[in-house]
């Protein structure tokens, strides 16, 4: 009963909000090019859905490629840095620099350098997304219990054995936390990069559709695209959350079923 | 039992903790001790006197700040030493069977399922091979750690209060099992405990340690039959030894504490 209420409460709140929004836009006769009501947005979503979905697909492809690159690059970098203090000291500052430099500032350069627009967009999104994975995985690689590390030393375990059997599994929950953050950031990165690139290629992603709708004052369509984008972000998060629960199911406290 | 040269000889072993200026902590102060082949030695001492530290030094997990630890018949190779830490120290992501298999994997030995199963049967965890550590009670985890320490058939077993978290019945049973393993495998055991009764029941020799900084203040041979049977627990000779050890411990505890701050 309580569990049901927990689920219904946010839904009900959302519906009340939407109803208020619809009611107020009608009451004050707000022009649709300023703020369309939710019903109109839903209708636009229905009518323009097919063409918007095509654009969403393009954005999601860039997101997925960026997340893949961030995962491979992030884990690789973390493993390399975890090998020695010196390597970590020398590399980590550059990872931080890449993280704190606003991607909009370097995106034009990347677009000029990379001769393929898709590649340029993936690189931009990757820069935005990779840091959480690096930071989390690095913490995790050093998180194994001290006595366990001693146990491995006692049995003369080599560097590779220790990495594979001790440090990597210990890092897994941390990595998955980083992955969930990076999943959302990949989408943000892809959208920001598309904004900067404009209509660089023949394929136009969702971000460009948003820009275009703005220029043409097709505000309902802009909102429809936004709804789609938010939905995609939520779906990515939920998928990665589910993935990490499945992987950690048997041993990690974070994946425990909550008592209801 | 004891051969001409001991398995292990500690001479003036001293250990400091901490690196900060003026915050050094002297944990062990001049510990000298011979451990013979096939010995069963208990280290008895109050909390914080450096028993765990001493075991870590013997295992080679840390180097002593001063003094020497010598192995007259050759240094142990991986798998020669089994260590049960004070905490269970199991890998939470691996099943109990995989945890017990770990030493064999790390030392590149072939592990048969039968070996793992018999190691688990020995500690009464035969039904829990596929369970994960979180699904076990504290005492069961300690028993799994004991199975893991035994699986390489080590020459030297270092046990850091392995039975402290167990109920009396299980502890008695494991005490007897440990005796049997020690007799059958002719290994050497160094056993850390707070319990006078446990030390007296199990050991051939008990070293009593003083509060920090840890020193060995008495070495008591235990004059009981080599084979300890449960009936011994009510034997007057056993009670007399327990009383003697208690007195030794009380004397050790009443000695004035030395300064905790080193040079
Ligand atoms: N890693 C460490 N860093 C600094 N000090 C330590 C460290 N480990 C132990 N000590 C100190 O060394 C002393 C001896 O510790 P140790 O763990 O060897 O005691 P113990 O005899 O095993 O105690 P207990 O019976 O409670 O387990 C303690 O005073 C403790 O504070
Ligand atoms: Mg201890």
Atom nearest to B46 CA in ligand 1: 25
Q: How many Å apart are CA A89 and CA B251, to the nearest integer? A: 52
In this structure, what token pair is assigned to residue A203?
Answer: 């394929």
- Residues with Cβ within 8 Å of residue B14, at least 6 apart in sequence: B26, B28, B29, B30, B31, B64, B65, B66, B67
* Per-residue confidence (pLDDT) for residue B8, from 0 to 100: 93
| pLDDT band, residue A199 (cuts 50/70/90) | low
Gap from CA of B253 to ligand 1 centroid (Å): 17
* Per-residue confidence (pLDDT) for residue B57, from 0 to 100: 95
ipTM: 0.89
pLDDT beyond 70 at A189: yes
* Per-residue confidence (pLDDT) for residue B70, from 0 to 100: 94
Give the predicted TM-score (pTM) of the model: 0.86
Gap from CA of A35 to ligand 2 centroid (Å): 68
Sketch out chain A's domains with CATH numbers: 49-253 (1.10.3720.10)
* Between B111 and A237, the higher pLDDT residue: A237
| pLDDT band, residue B20 (cuts 50/70/90) | low
Is some CB atom of chain B closer than 8 A to the CB atom of A159?
Answer: no
Is some CB atom of chain A closer than 8 A to the CB atom of B56?
Answer: yes
pLDDT beyond 70 at B257: no
- Residues with Cβ within 8 Å of residue B260, at least 6 apart in sequence: B25, B26, B212
pLDDT digits (tens, 9 = 90+) for B103-141: 999 998 887 778 899 889 988 899 999 999 999 988 899
Task: Report the SS3 class of residue A205.
Answer: coil
Interface test with B, best of A140, A143, A147, A256 (most B CBs within 10 A): A147
Is some CB atom of chain B closer than 8 A to the CB atom of A260?
Answer: no
Residues of chain B contacting A170 with CB distance shorter than 8 Å = 93
Peptide bond into B213 cis (omega under 30): yes
Kindly state the average pLDDT of the residues A197-215: 79
Check A155 against B132: CB less than 8 A apart. Answer: no
Nearest residue (by CA) to ligand 1, atom 26, is: B47
What are the phi and psi torsion angles at B194 (to 5°)? -95, -15
Q: How many Å apart are CA B166 and CA A52, to the nearest integer? A: 65
Is some CB atom of chain A closer than 8 A to the CB atom of B93?
Answer: yes
Q: How many Å apart are CA B68 and CA B258, to the nearest integer? A: 23
State the DSSP H helix or E strand holding residue A185, giving kind and residue range, or none if neither.
helix A168-197
| Buried b or exposed e, range B177-192, using 16+ CB within 10 angstroms | ebbebbeeeebbbbbb
Check B102 against A252: CB less than 8 A apart. Answer: no
pLDDT beyond 50 at B262: no
Q: How many Å apart are CA A135 and CA B43, to the nearest integer? A: 43
Q: Give percent of chain B with pLDDT exceeding 90.
A: 58
Kindly state the average pLDDT of the residues B29-41: 93
Q: How many Å apart are CA A132 and CA A136, to the nearest integer? A: 6
- Nearest CB to A154; choose among B61, B93, B132: B61
pLDDT digits (tens, 9 = 90+) for A27-72: 998 888 889 999 999 999 999 888 899 999 999 999 999 999 999 9
A37-41, A53-57, A145-149, B225-229 — which is least confidently predicted?
B225-229
Interface test with B, best of A155, A159, A175, A247 (most B CBs within 10 A): A155
| Full DSSP string of chain B | ---SS-SEEEEEEEEEE--STT--EEEEEEEEEEE-TT-EEEEE--TTSSHHHHHHHHHTSS--SEEEEE-TT-PPPTTSEEEE-SS----TTS-HHHHHHHHHHHTT----HHHHHHHHHHTT-GGGTT--GGGS-HHHHHHHHHHHHHTT--SEEEEESTTTTS-HHHHHHHHHHHHHHHHHHT-EEEEEES-HHHHHHH-SEEEEEPSSSB-EEEEEE--S-SS--GGGGG-HHHHHHHHHHHHHHHHHHHSPPPPSB--
Gap from CA of B192 to ligand 1 centroid (Å): 13
Mean pLDDT of chain A: 90
- Residues with Cβ within 8 Å of residue A167, at least 6 apart in sequence: A82, A140, A141, A142, A144
pLDDT digits (tens, 9 = 90+) for B168-205: 888 888 888 899 889 888 999 999 998 999 999 999 99
pLDDT beyond 50 at B2: no
pLDDT beyond 90 at A240: yes
Nearest residue (by CA) to ligand 1, atom 25, is: B47
Kindly state the average pLDDT of the residues B15-20: 78
* Per-residue confidence (pLDDT) for residue A202, from 0 to 100: 55
Is some CB atom of chain B closer than 8 A to the CB atom of A143?
Answer: no
pLDDT beyond 80 at B242: yes
């Amino acid at each position: 009963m309580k569990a049901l209420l927990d689920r219904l409460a946010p839904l009900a709140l959302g519906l009340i909000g939407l109803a208020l929004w619809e009611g107020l836009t009608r009451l004050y006769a707000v022009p649709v090019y300023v703020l369309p009501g939710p019903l109109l947005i839903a209708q636009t979503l229905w009518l323009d859905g097919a063409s918007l979905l095509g654009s969403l697909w393009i954005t999601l492809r860039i997101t997925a490629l960026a997340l893949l690159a961030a995962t491979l690059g992030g884990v690789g970098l973390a493993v390399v840095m975890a090998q020695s203090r010196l390597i970590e000291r020398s590399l980590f500052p550059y990872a931080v620099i890449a993280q704190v430099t606003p991607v909009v500032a370097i995106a034009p350069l990347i677009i000029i350098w990379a001769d393929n627009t898709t590649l340029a967009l993936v690189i931009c999104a990757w820069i935005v997304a990779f840091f959480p994975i690096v930071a989390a995985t690095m913490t995790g690689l050093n998180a194994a219990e001290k006595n366990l590390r001693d146990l491995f030393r006692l049995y003369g375990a080599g560097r590779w054995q220790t990495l594979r059997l001790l440090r990597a599994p210990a890092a897994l929950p941390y990595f998955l936390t980083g992955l969930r953050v990076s999943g959302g950031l990949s989408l943000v990165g892809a959208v920001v990069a598309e904004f900067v690139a404009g209509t660089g290629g023949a394929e136009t992603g969702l971000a460009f559709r948003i820009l275009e709708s703005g220029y043409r004052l097709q505000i309902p369509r802009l909102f429809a695209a936004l709804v789609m984008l938010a939905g995609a972000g939520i779906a990515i998060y939920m998928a990665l959350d589910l993935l990490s629960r499945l992987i950690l199911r048997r041993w990690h406290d974070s994946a425990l079923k909550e008592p209801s | 039992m004891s051969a001409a040269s001991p398995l292990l000889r500690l001479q003036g072993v001293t250990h400091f903790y901490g690196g900060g200026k003026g915050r050094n902590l002297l944990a062990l102060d001049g510990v000298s001790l011979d451990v013979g082949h096939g010995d069963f030695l208990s280290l008895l001492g109050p909390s914080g006197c450096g028993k765990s530290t001493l075991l870590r030094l013997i295992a080679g997990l840390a180097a002593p700040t001063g003094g020497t630890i010598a192995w007259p018949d050759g240094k142990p190779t991986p798998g020669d030493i089994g260590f049960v830490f004070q905490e269970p120290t199991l890998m939470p992501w691996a099943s109990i069977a995989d945890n017990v298999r770990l030493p064999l994997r790390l030392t590149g030995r072939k592990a048969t399922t039968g070996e793992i199963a018999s190691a688990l049967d020995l500690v009464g965890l035969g039904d829990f091979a596929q369970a994960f550590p979180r699904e076990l009670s504290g005492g069961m985890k300690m028993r799994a750690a004991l199975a893991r320490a035994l699986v390489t058939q080590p020459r030297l077993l270092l046990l850091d209060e392995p039975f402290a978290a167990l109920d009396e019945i299980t502890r008695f049973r494991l005490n007897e099992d440990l005796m049997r393993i020690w007799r059958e495998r002719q290994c050497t055991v160094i056993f850390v405990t707070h319990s006078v009764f446990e030390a007296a029941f199990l050991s051939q020799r008990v070293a009593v340690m003083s509060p920090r900084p840890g020193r060995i203040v008495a070495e008591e041979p235990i004059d009981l039959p080599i084979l300890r049977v449960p009936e011994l627990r009510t034997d007057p000779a056993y009670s007399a030894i327990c009383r003697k050890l208690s007195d030794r411990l009380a004397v050790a505890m009443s000695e004035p504490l030395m300064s905790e701050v080193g040079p």
